[in-house]
A and B are shown apart, each in its own frame.
Chain A
Amino acid sequence: AQSVTQLDSHVSVSEGTPVLLRCNYSSSYSPSLFWYVQHPNKGLQLLLKYTSAATLVKGINGFEAEFKKSETSFHLTKPSAHMSDAAEYFCVVSDRGNTGFQKLVFGTGTRLLVSP
């Protein structure tokens, strides 16, 4: 089964400084990987996805992630944090369900705190 590990439960940054949210995956085949964001009392929103095309993936709101097979990592980065980036971020791997559909397997989440 596929799985992801988010290495930090909380990350604190100052506004305007870079963001790094770490994720490692475990997969027996070439995975599809995603980052989702969850703002308080809001639905989960897709930030970006990797599906075996370019290893550097650009997403919404200035976020990007790099797929590194040698390190089994898919870290999320942003050059400059904004107050509105404060939220819970989930690294997600796609796993094949028992009928071939792709079900999402979520990490435990990283809460990003942004201070003024």
Chain B
Amino acid sequence: GAGVSQSPRYKVAKRGQDVALRCDPISGHVSLFWYQQALGQGPEFLTYFQNEAQLDKSGLPSDRFFAERPEGSVSTLKIQRTQQEDSAVYLCASSQTEPGTAASQNTGELFFGEGSRLTVL
């Protein structure tokens, strides 16, 4: 597709339910990021993939959060036993690492999806 696509756009879950949020990055983009944006706050980093490899998951708030990108394209963020504090907008972003540059020099633009708004009751 033309942009980063996320689904569902809205999800209401009862406390204790498991949820799965999907991200379709821009075709060919190597890097994929997940961010969490609480109400009235800026997005906060959760995890990063380079192709299928999860290179950094230091931002995941607890072991109830799990992300995968098995074929280096679509990614899923799973939250087990949801809690009220998990309510937020979950943003996915992708970028095309410039060929020939080290990852540490990649300052290319991130393209964000519209997010999945999760409300836990």
Q: Is the CB of B107 within 8 A of A97?
A: no
C-alpha gap A51/B104 in the complex (Å): 13
A41, A99, A104, A108: which contacts B45 (Cβ < 8 A)? A104
Contact stretch, chosen from A42-50, A63-71, A76-84: A42-50
Contact stretch, chosen from B11-19, B50-58, B64-72: B50-58
- Is there a chain B Cβ closer than 8 Å to A94's Cβ? yes
Q: Is the CB of A43 within 8 A of B113?
A: yes
C-alpha gap A103/B59 in the complex (Å): 11
How far does the Cβ of A29 sit from chain B's closest Cβ, in whole Å?
11
Q: Which residue of B lies closest to A50 (CB)?
A: B107
Q: Is the CB of B44 within 8 A of A102?
A: no
Q: Is the CB of A101 within 8 A of B45?
A: no
C-alpha gap A103/B41 in the complex (Å): 17
B4, B42, B48, B93: which contacts A90 (Cβ < 8 A)? B42
B104 — which chain A residues lie within 8 A by C-beta?
96, 100-102
Q: Is the CB of A101 within 8 A of B50?
A: yes
Binding site for A on B (CB under 8 A): 3-4, 31, 33, 35, 40-45, 48, 50, 55-56, 58, 91, 93, 102-104, 106-107, 109-115
* Further 18 A-B residue pairs, CB within 8 A, beyond A41-B114, A99-B103: A32-B107, A36-B112, A43-B112, A43-B115, A44-B112, A46-B109, A49-B107, A49-B109, A51-B107, A90-B42, A97-B55, A98-B58, A100-B102, A100-B103, A101-B48, A104-B110, A105-B45, A107-B42
